[in-house]
Amino acid sequence: MKYIGCILLTFLLLNGFTAQAQSNDLTDFFYSSGKIYVVTGCLLLILAGIIFYLIRLDRKIKRLEKDMEDHRS
């Protein structure tokens, strides 16, 4: 839940920044080359989300493995 709060806050901040400075470098970058970097950005977001989820899953499995070892001994 903490992470989600961070993401929401980032978006709110980004919204504020871009409203003030319409033509900063990052914005220009996303508009360049026919907006292809928007697609790249979306793919990166999806990848980041899935990897984040897999890391969490990994941790859970690790915890379970530990539990199992404790159970046996």
Partner 1 sequence: MMKGLKITTVILLVYTLVAGMVICLDKALMGANPSQLHPGKQTVTAYYYHGNLKEIKDLRVWAFHKNQVIPCKPLQIKNEQIFTLSIQVPDTFPSKNVGLVVEHAQRRDTLFGALYFMSSVSGETKTNATVDFDKNISAKDSFTYPNREILRESIRNLFFHVPMWFTMMFLAFISMFYSIKYLRGGNVQHDIIADNCARVALLFGLLGLVTGSLWARFTWGQWWVTEDVKLNGAAFTALIYFAYVILRGSVQDEIQRAKISGIYNIFAFVMMMVFVMVLPRLQDSLHPGNGGNPAFSNYDLDSTMRMVFYPAVLGWIGLGCWIASLKIRLSRVKLNLLNS
Residues in contact with partner 1 by the rule CB under 8 A? 4, 7, 11, 14-15, 18, 30-31, 33-36, 38-39, 41-43, 45-46, 49-50, 53-54, 57, 60-61, 64, 67-68, 71
Distance from C-alpha of 55 to C-alpha of 53, rounded to nearest angstrom: 5
Q: Which is nearer to partner 1, 21 or 53 (CB)?
A: 53
Least Å from the CB of residue 8 to partner 1 = 10
